[in-house]
């Protein structure tokens, strides 16, 4: 075991810890929308059961790791444990996420302009 990594809390798996983290994030999002948006409570209630979650993961991860991440999403109560709930969870590698961020932020266009100068 790496001495720099703390052990998991007693009686908790990695899936449990990730589920706790996702549940916390979802509570924060719900509170933010309900308190900051006009008609926030109604808005939240209208979309909370339709949210599609896109999770990023390291480039080498595949089926096993994605399955555990999906388990955590279910355990956190973000989606139901059925095919339609599972369909609301998608995965993207960190490399793909970085590329989309660069495209969306115009970073690639800026780099192209600089290289053509």
Q: What is the pLDDT of residue 47?
A: 94
Q: Which long-range contacts (CB under 8 A, 24 or more apart) does 101-104 make?
A: none
Q: What is the pLDDT of residue 61?
A: 87
Q: Per residue of the chain (117 residues), what is the pLDDT tens digit?
A: 567 878 888 899 999 999 999 999 999 999 999 999 999 999 999 999 999 999 999 888 888 999 999 999 999 999 999 999 999 999 999 988 888 888 888 776 665 565 555
Q: What is the pLDDT of residue 5?
A: 79
Can you give the residue ranges of every domain in the chain? 14-116
Of 5, 18, 23, 10, which Cα lies nearest the Cα of 67?
A: 18
The Cα–Cα gap between 71 and 14 comes to 11
pTM: 0.78
């Amino acid at each position: 075991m790496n001495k720099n990594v703390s052990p998991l809390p007693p009686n908790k798996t990695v899936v449990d810890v990730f589920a706790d983290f996702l549940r916390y994030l979802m509570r924060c999002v719900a509170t933010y929308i309900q308190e900051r948006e006009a008609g926030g409570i109604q808005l939240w209630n209208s979309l909370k059961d339709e949210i599609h979650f896109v999770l990023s993961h390291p480039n080498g991860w595949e089926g096993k790791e994605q399955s555990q991440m999906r388990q955590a999403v279910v355990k956190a109560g973000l989606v139901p444990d059925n095919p339609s709930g599972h369909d609301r969870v998608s995965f993207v590698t960190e490399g793909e996420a970085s590329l989309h961020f660069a495209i969306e932020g115009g970073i690639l266009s800026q780099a192209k302009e600089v290289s053509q100068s």
